[in-house]
């Protein structure tokens, strides 16, 4: 591994191959560092499901200069990650994304190599989703989002764009803690005006600090910021998390599984997420 120079942008994807990345199944570990396995807390996640997730992970390929992630075409419903071979500490990451609807995906930072633990920047392009919010994978499951989204429909009933979700029809309630856990929240109307439906959208992630402050922008519109040193959430211990993850970690893209809570609302049959122009600048 060669350490990139501070302040010097480096491309993490050559547009042709998946060199520098490796695929792993989406399987669950402990709910927080040193805590119980997810299956003990949520018995619906059975050993049989875990075995199937190992056998039929999500797939990744390069199509027209972009990375595309999708569920196994013959055995859909199971997820996976595309993980960077190298680790990164403080950085600014820019990329372009183009997910189908619905597709529950995201970008992990400070991810461990040996488990699902890490901070996730959400790209939940689905009902009740957030694009640019945060989730603690195996980090007590904190959920920090400034607002939640739904799809608008055209005259023919087909999805035609994003809108704010009606709380009366939500699949996942917007509880007060999802906003209070954030250090900054952006303007939802500015986000909606900037979002390009069925097009390429720019995501920028800034991650700085041993207990990092993570900030996100979409199409240069601030979405949210979270200070992981000050999170108040059951079973979340900032010092323990920092020691567990270390000062640097892997990046990862996600294809979510169709878990028992959301089913096909997580990931439509045949849906794909797409990523390109992935550039990291060490800070």
CATH code of the domain covering residue 178: 2.60.120.200
- For the chain, the domain total comes to 1
Is the pLDDT confidence value at 15 over 80? yes
Confidence band, pLDDT 50/70/90 cuts, at residue 2: low
Residue 10 is assigned to a structural domain of this protein? no
Query: Residue 245: inside a domain, yes or no?
Result: yes
In which residue are the tokens 């952006």 written?
Answer: 186
Q: Domain range spanning residue 93? A: 85-282
Which two three-digit tokens encode residue 52?
Answer: 């199937």
Q: Looking at the domain assignment, is residue 105 inside a domain?
A: yes
pLDDT digits (tens, 9 = 90+) for 267-278: 999 999 999 999
Rounded to 5 degrees, φ, ψ at 252 are -160, 140
Of 78, 106, 135, 109, the residue nearest 253 (C-alpha): 106
pLDDT at 280 over 90: yes
- Torsion angles phi and psi, residue 121, rounded to 5: -90, 120
* Domain contains 256: yes
CA distance 153 to 161: 7
Quick: pLDDT tens for 113-161: 999 999 999 999 999 999 999 999 999 999 999 999 999 999 998 999 9
Q: What is residue 3's predicted lDDT score, i.e. its pLDDT?
A: 63
Residue 193 lies in a domain: yes
Of 14-18, 57-61, 169-173, 207-211, the range with the lowest mean pLDDT is 169-173
Cis omega (within 30 of 0) on the bond before 62?
A: no
Torsion sign (Cα): 138, 145, 72, 42 = positive
Model confidence band, residue 5 (pLDDT cutoffs 50, 70, 90): confident
Residue 152 belongs to some domain of the structure? yes
Note whether residue 100 is domain-resident: yes
**pLDDT tens for each residue of 158-217:** 999 999 999 999 999 999 999 999 999 999 999 999 999 999 999 999 999 999 999 999
Taking the C-alpha atoms of residue 160 and residue 152, their distance in angstroms, rounded to an integer, is 6
Helix (H) or strand (E) holding 279, with range, is: strand 272-282
**Residue 26: inside a domain:** no
């Amino acid at each position: 591994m060669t350490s990139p120079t501070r302040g010097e942008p480096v491309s993490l994807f050559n547009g042709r191959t998946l060199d520098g990345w490796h695929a792993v199944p989406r399987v669950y570990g402990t709910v927080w560092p040193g805590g119980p396995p997810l299956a003990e807390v949520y018995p619906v996640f059975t050993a049989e499901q875990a075995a199937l997730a190992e056998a039929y992970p999500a797939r990744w390929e390069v199509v027209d200069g972009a990375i595309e992630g999708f569920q196994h075409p013959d055995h859909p419903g199971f997820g996976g990650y595309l993980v960077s071979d190298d680790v990164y500490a403080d950085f600014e990451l820019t990329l372009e994304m183009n997910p189908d609807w619905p597709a529950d995906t995201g970008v992990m930072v400070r991810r461990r190599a040996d488990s699902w633990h890490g901070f996730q920047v959400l790209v939940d392009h689905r009902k009740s989703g957030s694009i640019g919010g945060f989730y603690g994978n195996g980090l007590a499951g904190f959920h920090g989002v400034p607002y939640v989204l739904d799809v608008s429909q055209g005259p023919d009933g087909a999805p035609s764009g994003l809108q704010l979700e009606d709380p009366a029809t939500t699949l996942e309630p917007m509880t007060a803690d999802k906003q209070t856990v954030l250090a900054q929240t952006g303007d939802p109307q500015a986000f909606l005006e900037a979002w390009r439906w069925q097009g390429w959208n720019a995501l920028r992630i800034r991650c700085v600090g041993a207990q990092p402050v993570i900030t996100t922008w979409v199409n240069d519109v601030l979405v949210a910021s979270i200070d992981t040193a000050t999170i108040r959430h059951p079973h979340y211990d900032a010092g323990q998390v920092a020691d567990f993850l270390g000062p640097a970690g892997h990046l990862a893209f996600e294809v979510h599984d169709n878990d028992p809570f959301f089913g096909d609302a997580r990931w439509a049959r045949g849906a794909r997420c797409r990523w390109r122009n992935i550039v990291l600048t060490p800070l």
